Structure 1
């Protein structure tokens, strides 16, 4: 029996998947082979009645890609210096990270729209294939820039691997269950990020960094086979035929090539100065200023072009919904705040306690565990109560409290219990990742689900870049300022001060090679600089709290 779902423009309820039966731009999973043991052979239309075992099987297959994509990122963080050193390009090692992030940001929203046109399964397979090609190029690269090209290709594939999973979850499940399943996705992603660093370091020590990337290829190839076998076909809702029956020329005419190109240039122009400023070039360098101004101008151009498109790559109607804009901003601010935390915590314990790199990284575990617990609990609560606004407010309040505690208590002598102050920060972000996703779905037209979800992932990518760059820049400025004053008070001359500051900034191991008053000055200056990174995180999270107060609780399935 075919189950009907709501028409375009109608908000989803707890009893309907976030699918639209009549929207010309939306897609519905229509045909799927069922196990004979469950409901018999043949093809049936998927609605709310899809067997849960089938949903579990589909999403489980997609989680393979989520795990690999996030493991890959943390492997690179652990091995980028080793990779660059092999090519005598240590000074350019950040390009291995930057190129991946920029490529992912530039292609993020494109996947959503293309999946509406060509089908979810087709785009998932394309994303996986692109990622595999990128990994292979990295593994066989004979020059540094060949490896960078491989990272660019991998980033373009990874953005689809991540975003399309959330889009498919909204296709398959009623809105109240989306947050719970999103929590499982976040849990797998967190596990991937956690295991990637140690795994990458071990592979470098034992068999070489290239196998960190070669090893991902067979896993994704298996995932490609499973996706082809289990992910159902998708049909266009403006006809009764499968997507493959639509003429190729008709499909191509629906793609907003002009908007896609302008959007990619816009994102690159905005993110490149954030990535390179204060690192490769001073913030006042003409390249940084000129690129950023170009990015701002391209926003204007993109809006003008999209206003004239019949099927824009990013429908501007999404931004007419205040709560949608607030959702993007809240998640972005929370992500930026936590990235500041992830940057500062290992450095704090490395400097103040002389902890090893492994032990310093282990101090992040409470935040990671908090992420996982918060995500799962918020999914359960939303499923049972239908409420998300109160959860968002609680989430950003919890995170703000965490960063405030770090500002008040982390002054160089932090005991084991005080090291747990980062747990509320991770816990709050975990809740926000699930609850904010629901707040977006509650207001966006189902016809715009795919591009809206893709843009939410993009906002997180931008926030990742911003949070890390801003925290690093603020810490560096504060450290230099304080250390200059302390060394001057100790009677050091200008040239000696310049050298000590240069060594302290460029090499954290410098702290282990100095003693006496100089060491005290360097350590206390580091603590001062890191205090300001906590202040930045607090500012981001408190700003998110201010926005969360104005989100409207929408009715989800009969609950006001």
Structure 2
């Protein structure tokens, strides 16, 4: 492997035949005006991130409106599932058809998905529309990162990734409060409608400015031939999505467990067969998942699992247990979003200016990031366990500095814990992208950047979905025991109503009865933390192994 330093160009400049053309194109790409290109990329990324936190904050209200609260995990999962499956395809699509076409395809699906979301009549239609949005969102994220790599050097990569995460973080920051504001005023459908013109502007900017030249992209007349498009691993992506979907169905539905298990196992085996023996250019090259990149990939999955579990659990916890409005919940979500932006900028700046080994600094940031996330989770878990539920909105918002349900102190500590989770995630995200430059040969860096985003997306979808699934399954079991198996004066109708419409909790129960039910809900939330805590601890252990592997080679 060639030695790399922080001034190395991200794209290879080969010296063999064809190197002159590659060098010419590379100089052309570096000379392109960065501002209009980055504007077109980051505007789309902003909308995509805005879309994500809007849904995290409003999904409980949307599910209640359709009287399908027991299906709310699919509102979160559908977007992330297709985002995961299609994101690696866009990396290959951009190599086969060019960066501009891949970006425009991503914007097209995001626009169509937003329009269909506005028209949804139930959770199923909402989830399908969100899945279409996910096809576009995954492409925007992947193509943005790859395109930035085309127009900058390795030393610039860290700071540009920091800027990109600031934009992404601002979208996340505004999504939750805007979602709460709109759903309390003009309704949730308008939230998705106003995204359409913004995405169309972003697509126009991409069409005008993303004029990147790549020597490996065929001429226009050959780009859409069957032979050229066969290089894209559609079957691998479909079987990967089927496997993840099977896991989610197995955990969250009452369908025949044996049948679903066999179908999921078959899909996974088929995915392995496709990637090992069939696909000409695979979405997941297993032989590269060794050494530092393999370790950092697993840590990335753990970190993404943790933050997306927290993003989708926290609003529901605040709304159900402490009776906060969607708007007020959105204010809580601002702080971790800001921490992601700040963490990205700080990490990028430090990595850009450090005089020490950039590779070692990257690995140390990986360890620090996942350790901060574990610390934040432990604090949050403790708070959920000791702070009593609020019996009224007035009680939840009383400004007294006591460590109780009606205090401000626990809210400050809760925000601090979520900030640690977000800041740690940002540190890990930026440093892992920079570490790819040092652990992967130059000719594989673009491919492995796409693989990195695949791992991140897998962590995202599993974190959001399994956290909500664990919560829902624990709640279903605990409520049944509390309401139907303990000789209390509840009816089956009340039990099933609570499962399908969580707003029923505070509109039909009060006093000690409400408090008892809220404690059952709180117990389910505590259970939902366990997978996150376990994976965060695993991430810390693997990060230590990553640093040890570096020390052994030096």
The alignment's TM-score, normalised by the length of structure 1, stands at: 0.80
CA contact (8 A) 1:273 1:292 kept: yes
- The aligned counterpart of 2:241 is 268
Secondary structure of residue in 2 paired with 1:299: helix
1:299 pairs with one of 253, 261, 271: 271
- The aligned counterpart of 1:522 is 517
Per-residue CA shift, 1:387-432, capped at 9, x if unaligned?
Answer: 2111111111111111122233431236233222322122111211
Range 523-532 or range 160-169, more displaced: 523-532
Range 127-136 or range 374-383, more displaced: 127-136
Pairwise CA RMSD:
3.7
| 2-structure distance, mates of 1:473, 1:218 | 34
Range 385-394 or range 65-74, more displaced: 65-74
Question: Residues 232, 261 of structure 1: CA spacing in aligned structure 2 closer, same or farther, 3 A cutoff?
Answer: closer
| 2-structure distance, mates of 1:510, 1:88 | 10
Pairing 1:157-172 to 2, within 5 Å after superposition: 157-172=136-151
- The aligned counterpart of 1:6 is none
- Structure 1 position 356 matched with structure 2 position 296: no
- The aligned counterpart of 1:126 is 105
CA contact (8 A) 1:330 1:544 kept: yes
Question: Residues 296, 541 of structure 1: CA spacing in aligned structure 2 closer, same or farther, 3 A cutoff?
Answer: same
2:351 pairs with one of 365, 372, 382: 382
- Structure 1 position 318 matched with structure 2 position 288: yes
More helix by share: 2
The alignment's TM-score, normalised by the length of structure 2, stands at: 0.81
Question: Residues 106, 539 of structure 1: CA spacing in aligned structure 2 closer, same or farther, 3 A cutoff?
Answer: same
Q: Which runs of 5+ in 1 are unaligned?
A: 1-8, 33-43, 238-242
| 2-structure distance, mates of 1:404, 1:364 | 18
| 1-structure distance, mates of 2:67, 2:491 | 30
- Structure 1 position 62, deviation (Å): 0.9
| 1-structure distance, mates of 2:73, 2:151 | 39
Question: Residues 63, 529 of structure 1: CA spacing in aligned structure 2 closer, same or farther, 3 A cutoff?
Answer: same
| 1-structure distance, mates of 2:206, 2:351 | 29
| 1-structure distance, mates of 2:466, 2:104 | 36
CA contact (8 A) 1:404 1:535 kept: no
- The aligned counterpart of 1:372 is 341
- Structure 1 position 478, deviation (Å): 4.0
Task: Provide the aligned length of Structure 1 versus Structure 2.
Answer: 521
| 2-structure distance, mates of 1:314, 1:11 | 25
| 1-structure distance, mates of 2:183, 2:383 | 37
Question: Residues 171, 471 of structure 1: CA spacing in aligned structure 2 closer, same or farther, 3 A cutoff?
Answer: same
- Structure 1 position 509 matched with structure 2 position 488: no
Secondary structure of residue in 2 paired with 1:364: helix
Q: Which runs of 5+ in 2 are unaligned?
A: 388-403
| 2-structure distance, mates of 1:81, 1:29 | 53
1:233 pairs with one of 201, 204, 212: 212
- The aligned counterpart of 1:156 is 135
CA contact (8 A) 1:504 1:522 kept: no
- The aligned counterpart of 2:84 is 105
CA contact (8 A) 1:29 1:171 kept: no
1:337 pairs with one of 284, 306, 310: 306
CA contact (8 A) 1:487 1:521 kept: no
Question: Residues 130, 522 of structure 1: CA spacing in aligned structure 2 closer, same or farther, 3 A cutoff?
Answer: closer
- Structure 1 position 496 matched with structure 2 position 515: no
| 1-structure distance, mates of 2:69, 2:320 | 23
CA contact (8 A) 1:139 1:213 kept: yes
1:290 pairs with one of 255, 258, 262: 262
- Structure 1 position 248 matched with structure 2 position 222: yes
CA contact (8 A) 1:28 1:171 kept: no
- Structure 1 position 116, deviation (Å): 1.9
Pairing 1:522-541 to 2, within 5 Å after superposition: 522-541=517-536
- Structure 1 position 545, deviation (Å): 0.8
CA contact (8 A) 2:96 2:218 kept: no
- Structure 1 position 192, deviation (Å): 1.8
| 1-structure distance, mates of 2:147, 2:549 | 22
2:160 pairs with one of 181, 185, 190: 181
| 2-structure distance, mates of 1:340, 1:535 | 11
Range 19-28 or range 471-480, more displaced: 19-28
Question: Residues 380, 271 of structure 1: CA spacing in aligned structure 2 closer, same or farther, 3 A cutoff?
Answer: same
Question: Residues 438, 497 of structure 1: CA spacing in aligned structure 2 closer, same or farther, 3 A cutoff?
Answer: farther
- Structure 1 position 437, deviation (Å): 1.6
- Structure 1 position 336, deviation (Å): 0.9
| 2-structure distance, mates of 1:61, 1:78 | 27
CA contact (8 A) 2:222 2:228 kept: no
- The aligned counterpart of 2:546 is 551
Per-residue CA shift, 1:332-379, capped at 9, x if unaligned?
Answer: 111111222223323333344332233234333332222222111111
- Structure 1 position 549, deviation (Å): 1.1
| 2-structure distance, mates of 1:425, 1:192 | 17
Secondary structure of residue in 1 paired with 2:236: helix
Pairing 1:202-221 to 2, within 5 Å after superposition: 202-203=181-182, 211-221=190-200
